[in-house]
Amino acid sequence: MEKISACIFDLDGVVVDTAKYHYIAWKSLAKGLGFNFTKEDNERLKGVSRMRSLDILMEIGGVDLDDETLLKMAAKKNEEYLEYILKMTPDEILPGVKDLFENLKENGVKIALGSASKNAMLILKQLKLTSYFDAIVDGTHVSKAKPDPEVFLKGAELVGFKPENCVVFEDAEAGVEAAINGGMRCVGIGSPKVLGKANFVVPGFEGFTFETLKKGLDK
Ligand code: BG6
Ligand code: MG
């Protein structure tokens, strides 16, 4: 098996559950435009960039707006989203994440972030996790969205390892595909039904260590 030198983590849905805040903010935007937005609809926005999420929302509502108005809508949604993000505390870090970070460090494995979010730096600060990361690549650094591998390839480059020595952790199908497209191995966080293309899938990080990772990839 190729050596594991770095782990690249997606943020939303892997390190923290921000989907619930995205949902509230998108729902309130939809309400203002006169249509309903459901939890099932929200599933379609996981891992998807802010503007692409807005496109999907407009498609759901059957609303057609010009580009300038769309930009204003995206800014409005983000303002509401930020109200929730600013109230976030380290208590919201998903179970097992911090232990895994410590364990990876003890094993000399580098940790990088590979997120589509333009709010990633703020979220890491709220969670007091910034200092764990050897490299951070977020939505402000990339021009191509997942499933394009750009975000993960940049992360690998920043920590100084080849894609084959990096493992990605993802909760979205497009993210798993991005890892594969970049020549990296991938652990899915969530349901095997959605993340079947990953090397293996776990429901979460509780009890998950570097050993678990090596064993899972060995199978
Ligand atoms: C991804 C989330 O990580 O970031 C998406 O899964 C979100 O739901 C995207 O739309 C962009 O986030 P932000 O914070 O830049 O609006
Ligand atoms: Mg995600």
pLDDT of the residue at 171: 96
Give the domain-ending residue among 85, 118, 140. Answer: 85
Active site residue 10: yes
In a domain, residue 72? The reply is: yes
Do 63 and 97 fall into the same domain? no
pLDDT at 43 (0 to 100): 87
Which residue among 29, 41, 49, 124 is best mutated to probe the pocket of ligand 1, counting the most ligand atoms within 8 A of its Cβ? 49
Q: Residues 111, 134: contact at Cβ < 8 Å?
A: yes
Sorted by sequence, the CB contacts under 8 Å of residue 71 that are 6+ apart come out as none
> What angle do the packed helices 19-32 and 50-61 form, to 10 degrees?
50
3-state helix vs strand vs coil in the chain, percent to 5: 50, 15, 35
Q: Taking Cα atoms as reference points, which of 185, 189, 191, 194 lies closest to residue 219? A: 185
* Within a domain: 66: yes
- pLDDT per position as a tens digit, 73-110: 999 999 999 999 999 999 999 999 999 999 999 999 99
| pLDDT given for residue 219 in this prediction | 82
**Residue 214 and residue 154 share a domain:** yes
- Do residues 29 and 13 share a domain? no
Same domain, 111 and 79: no
Domain assignment present for residue 58? The answer is yes
Regarding whether 120 and 71 lie in a shared domain, the answer is no
Whole-number pLDDT of residue 149: 98
Full domain range(s) for residue 48 = 19-85
Q: With respect to residue 164, please indicate whether it lies within any of the assigned structural domains.
A: yes
Choose one of 15, 48, 78, 137 to mutate for the ligand 1 pocket test, by most ligand atoms within 8 angstroms of C-beta: 48
> In this structure, are 63 and 73 located in the same domain?
yes
Is 12 known to be catalytic?
yes
Q: What is the pLDDT along the chain (219 residues), one digit of tens a residue?
A: 899 999 999 999 999 999 999 999 999 999 999 999 999 999 889 999 999 999 999 999 999 999 999 999 999 999 999 999 999 999 999 999 999 999 999 999 999 999 999 999 999 999 999 999 999 999 999 999 999 999 999 999 999 999 999 999 999 999 999 999 999 999 999 999 999 999 999 999 999 999 999 999 998
Whether residue 72 is found in the same domain as residue 103: no
Q: What CATH code is carried by the domain that includes residue 47?
A: 1.10.150.240
Q: What's the pLDDT score for residue 153?
A: 98
Residue 1 lies in a domain: no
Cross-strand bridge partners of residue 8: 112, 168
pLDDT at 163: 98
Let me know whether 63 and 101 are in one domain: no
Structural domain includes residue 114: yes
Instruction: Please report the pLDDT score of residue 1 as a whole number.
Output: 84
Residues 26 and 129 reside in one and the same domain: no
Question: Do 28 and 127 share a structural domain?
Answer: no
Give dist(CA 22, CA 82) in Å, integer: 9
pTM for the structure as a whole: 0.96
Q: Pick from 43, 62, 85: which residue ends a domain?
A: 85
Radius of gyration for the alpha carbons in the chain, expressed in angstroms and rounded: 17
Q: How many domains does the chain have?
A: 2
Amino acid at 182: G
Q: Where are the beta strands (DSSP E) in the chain?
A: 6-9, 110-114, 135-137, 166-170, 185-189, 200-202
Residue whose C-alpha is closest to residue 7's, from 76, 97, 123, 126 = 97
Within 13 Å and on the Cβ side, how many CA atoms surround 60?
A: 24
Say if residue 133 is in the same domain as residue 199.
yes
Q: What is the pLDDT of residue 190?
A: 96
The domain that contains 168 carries what CATH number? 3.40.50.1000
Assigned token pair, 192: 């095997």
Non-local CB neighbours of 184 within 8 Å, separated by 6+ positions: 8, 149, 152, 156, 163, 164, 166, 167, 168
Pocket of ligand 1 (CB under 6 A): 11-13, 22, 45-50, 53, 78, 115-119, 139
Residues 63 and 164 in one domain: no
Is residue 129 assigned to a domain?
A: yes
d(CA 16, CA 90): 9
* Residue after which a domain boundary falls, among 85, 108, 124: 85
Which ligand is closest in space to the CA of residue 45?
A: 1
Q: Is residue 144 part of a domain?
A: yes
